[in-house]
Amino acid sequence: SYGCEFSHITTFTVQMIAILSSVGSEMASLMSSIQENWFGNFLLNICAYGVIILPAALIIHYFKNSQSLQQRSGPLFSFLRFCILGNSIDELELVEEGKVIEEKEENSSSPTPKGYGIILWSSFKLCSCIIGLQIAYLTWGVLQERVMTRSYDGERFTNSQFLVFVNRVLALCVSAIYIASTIQPRHISPFYKYSYSSLSNILSSWCQYEALKFVSFPTQVLAKSCKVIPVMLMGKVVSNKTYPLNEYVTALMMSGGVALFLLAADPTGDTHTTETTVAGILILGGYMMFDSFTSNWQSQLFSQYKMSPIQMMLGVNTFSCIFTIGSLLLRGTFFSSVLFLFKHWDFGVHASILSICSAIGQLFIFYTISQFGPLVFTLIMTTRQAVSILLSCIVYGHVLTIQALLGVVVVFIAILLRFYFKQRERSVDKTTPK
């Protein structure tokens, strides 16, 4: 009888192992199918971020509502105070400190050129900014399309999250080195506040890479150029904002240009399914939404805490590295991506150059805006977007019809008109007596 019972137990155990093995294979198959779908990938990323964010949010909530951080000392509690409460400083101290920093920068800087030297020096700096921004972001655009749309020895890299992580690691290192070697204002913002724009920033970057699986690079660039349209719609619906007539006209021109481009017939005869088109539009819409939140949140932090752009770059990229590496490890895709990198050295070279261009480009952005203002920077970047579309068509053989080219021209004319009207409004405001 013992032998019979043992036989039954053995049979039952074998059956249970078979069932569990079958369930495991079904779950693996389900996870694989989810990961192959862009929306499933997006949800998995959100869940992974949630595993990191929820415990951190509970810790922040606990310490913000207790006095324990103010009463205790030691390295751990100093670090928690920096992350959760920030450094307290009144406005007068902040102004005085800003004056001291300006004086130190003036004393440490080289003598200012005079006469024609000023014009030559400004021209040299402007040319350097134009060349630096064009080289950095044109190279970045070409490599972005290469990595996401072409194969490496028959294998295609599909993990957009890993590319975001690599970009943010290098940007973090560059910003840390820059801050360590320059004079910066005292940091007073609670460090955790960078996490909001960091999360939206990595989601917008993920959407940017993921969209290239469904739309061409010229389509992506053109859609990114029209971010103002959803921003205006949201402002009208949510805040009941009013806009001048010229903004509505330029927005309609952008919409018409994009419609001309997207509805242009493909002379090569290639067709795309409705699902692919809808997926691409949804992902680009996600990019615009997350990117708009990032810029608005960062503007609020700049006005409230007066940090430098490089301090913002360091804070945002710190949390971006935490979120992305956490997501990659929790989803089990980090080591497979590293294995792909070591297996295909040309991919490693492309990913490295992509990250270097992104980090250097951010520094050029901050420098250009600080030296020449946002209008000059916007004109440079608008030119870069037009050139990047042309370069993508040359390098990767995208064929554009006359209708598609007309759509591109209409969009960029609308963008330039928009900046012209903005600048004219600023000039009128300055000359109007108050």
- Is the full-model pTM beyond 0.85? no
DSSP codes of every residue in 328-340:
HHHHT-HHHHHHH
What average pLDDT does this structure show over 171-200?
91
Q: For the chain, give the percent of residues with pLDDT over 90.
A: 24
How far is 223 from 206, CA to CA, in rounded Å?
16
pLDDT at 2 over 90: no
The residue ranking higher by pLDDT, 219 or 269, is 219
The structure tokens listed for 405 are: 């080219």
How far is 119 from 262, CA to CA, in rounded Å?
44
pLDDT at 92 over 50: no
Question: In a 10 Å sphere around its CB, with 0-12 CB exposed, 13-18 middle and 19+ buried, how is residue 82 labelled?
Answer: middle
Region class of 6: left (phi > 0), else alpha (psi between -120 and 50), else beta: alpha
Per-residue pLDDT band for 430 (boundaries 50, 70, 90) equals low
pLDDT recorded at residue 16: 63
pLDDT at 169 over 80: yes
What average pLDDT does this structure show over 408-415?
85
pLDDT recorded at residue 273: 42
What average pLDDT does this structure show over 415-425?
78
pLDDT at 35 over 80: no
pLDDT tens string 252-301: 888 788 778 777 755 554 544 444 477 888 898 888 888 878 877 887 88
Within 13 Å and on the Cβ side, how many CA atoms surround 205? Answer: 28
